Amino acid sequence: MTRTREDFIDDLTLTLLYLTRFNDSEGSPFNEIAWKNYAFEAIKRLDNDDLIVNPKRGMIDGCKYAYLTEKGRKKARELLREFGAEDYPLYERFDFRTIRPEEGEEAAKIEQICFPPNEACTPERIKERIGVASDLFLVAIDCENDGKIAGFLNGIATDEYKFRDEFFTDASLHKEDGKNIMILGLDVLPEYRKQGLGRELVYNYCRREQARGRERLVLTCLQNKVKMYTKFGFVDRGEANSSWGGEKWHEMDISLSVLRPA
């Protein structure tokens, strides 16, 4: 089917924004930013279609950059496939999506591989959590390996601001429309580590929860992971109110609400 000239300019503009995007390290690293080109009308149409967010929508001295929305990212990936062009290797290989109920067993096994026995959540608790908050489990699927889960990130929603260990053990604390997410585990299988998958899980999760209107993600981690989460944009709040596994934890959080215009 032939596209109109206008539609083709829009598709090319979106694809170019997607391919040249980078992380907004001065604002929120998980928001992907791209410099706009000069097809102003195309930018306006992409903005109106919610494929990008123009931070100064409608203003004459508009910004030089735009944020890609989840919808825009998805459409750009479809266009790349249509054009027969390559995506970033991570996106060629992995699919990021919500966990399926039948994947509970697999996720529970990964948790036991990734964490020592005193830190890992038991298979029963993982499955119980999936039962009440499956949409807060984000999995990275290896498309080149029969749909195997390579890693996942999970949490539960609440209106509370501080972490407490009961979030690990009591899935009934989950409040579907809670403003904050207590992150309960980031797991990447050893054979998939050091390729950026952990970071991508966190960024995808942040963008997804931001789009759902959540305010904040809160997590606890050991001292040796503080630097990693700081790179992801989290702020270290000092010692956490947690004695999980008999260890000392840091509480860290990231704000989702102040970083992008509605």
- Edge-to-edge strands, sheet with 22-23: 22-23, 32-35, 65-68, 52-53
Q: Are 118 and 245 contacting, i.e. CB atoms less than 8 angstroms apart? A: yes
- Site for ligand COA, rule CB under 6 A: 114-115, 186-188, 193-199, 221, 224-225, 227-228, 231
SS percent in the chain: helix, strand, coil, step 5: 40, 25, 35
Residue 52 or 197 having the CB closest to ligand COA: 197
Three-class secondary structure of residue 62 per DSSP: coil
Residue 62 or 196 having the CB closest to ligand COA: 196
Residue 37 or 230 having the CB closest to ligand COA: 230
Residue 80 or 188 having the CB closest to ligand COA: 188
Q: Are 193 and 218 contacting, i.e. CB atoms less than 8 angstroms apart? A: no
**121-158 burial code (b ≥16 CB/10 A, e <16):** beeebbbbbbeebeebbbbbbbeeeeeebbbbbbbbbb
Counting runs of H as helices and runs of E as strands, what totals does the chain give? 9, 11
CA dist 197 and 203 (Å) reads: 10
Residue 227 beta carbon to ligand COA: minimum distance, rounded to whole angstroms: 6
Residue 81 beta carbon to ligand COA: minimum distance, rounded to whole angstroms: 25
Residue 76 or 114 having the CB closest to ligand COA: 114
User: Please, how many CA atoms are within 13 Å of residue 95, restricted to the half-sphere of its CB?
Assistant: 12
Residue 5 or 194 having the CB closest to ligand COA: 194
Q: Are 165 and 156 contacting, i.e. CB atoms less than 8 angstroms apart? A: no
Residue 43 beta carbon to ligand COA: minimum distance, rounded to whole angstroms: 31
Residue 232 beta carbon to ligand COA: minimum distance, rounded to whole angstroms: 7
Residue 252 beta carbon to ligand COA: minimum distance, rounded to whole angstroms: 9
208 — phi, psi (to 5°)?
A: -65, -45
Of all residues in this chain, which one has the CB nearest to ligand COA in the complex?
A: 198
Residue 9 beta carbon to ligand COA: minimum distance, rounded to whole angstroms: 35
Residue 49 beta carbon to ligand COA: minimum distance, rounded to whole angstroms: 31
Residue 43 or 184 having the CB closest to ligand COA: 184
